Structure 1
Amino acid sequence: MPSINDISIGQTARLEREFTEEDVRVSKELTRDYSPVYDKDEQAWKKHYPKPIVPALLTEGLITQVISSKLPGIPCVLLQKDLVFYSPVHVGEVITAELVIIDINKERNWLTQKVTCYDVDGKEVIKGQVVIYVLDNSL
């Protein structure tokens, strides 16, 4: 199994995903977050958002999917996340999450990654960074 020693600064990984109404429905049920901004039939949010938005936690899931499946793609635990949501993600939009290794602390087994999520037009919708703890595979 790979380890933190197999990772280098500048490594990049990406994943894209189109969020569906079913994704939002499942997310609402799991989190018990029933905000009307997620409902296509609700009129209250239309003044601010012309289309229903995808819950932030669901879009964050795309980021953690990159971490767990691609970079580092080895067992790890999220320690810190600092994200700014510049624009809402709407149902039916394809979003790409891109993570870049910007720091490696081998003493603590920590990786810091720059996070950028953007839509099909290249517009940034989320930006920030995460710190993860890479589990020692010798345990």
Structure 2
Amino acid sequence: MDLYAVGDHAEFAKTVTDFDVYGFAGIVGDFYGVHVNEEYAKKTRFERRIAQGALSVGFLATVMGYMAAKAPNPGAVSYRYDITFTAPVYMGDTVTARLVLERKDEERNTCVFAASVTNQDGKVVAQGQTYLKVL
């Protein structure tokens, strides 16, 4: 746990494309109309297609991988995500997933991170906490 210090942080940024949304839908089976059907999406409060919320969690998982990689073998694993979606992610949005180490639970070998995903305008689209277990 000495490899991790409160305040440690990392981030990953990506522009969300049709490929991301359709690829993710194909992997997890989330073909809900608001994600893949423009005509359906026009009739929703979003008025156009949005990315799956779980895709934003996936971007946070990328950053958790960066943090886990800091630990020597046998390493570390992410095991919990408490995330709330606060705004939609549209095609063409550039999102940044960011983790900041808030606290360490030495007894449980666990790091707790503040998690956020923001769009290009700085609007938070997802936020919460993630947990990394150091093995």
TM-score by length of 2: 0.88
Offset, 1:56: 1.5
Structure 1 position 15 matched with structure 2 position 18: no
In structure 1, the residue matched to 2:40 is: 44
Q: Provide the identity percentage.
A: 27
For 1:22, what is the secondary structure of its paired residue? helix
TM-score by length of 1: 0.86
Offset, 1:73: 2.9
1:88-123: per-residue Cα shift (whole Å, max 9, x none)?
111111001111101111222111000111111111
Q: How many residues align?
A: 130
Alpha-carbon separation, structure 1, partners of 2:76 and 2:51: 26
1:30-80: per-residue Cα shift (whole Å, max 9, x none)?
1111100112x43222131122111112111110101102x2433422222
In structure 1, the residue matched to 2:32 is: 35
Offset, 1:18: 1.0
Alpha-carbon separation, structure 1, partners of 2:122 and 2:23: 27
5+ residue gaps, structure 1, are none
In structure 1, the residue matched to 2:78 is: 78
For 2:103, what is the secondary structure of its paired residue? strand
Q: Give the residue type in structure 2 aligned to 1:107.
A: E
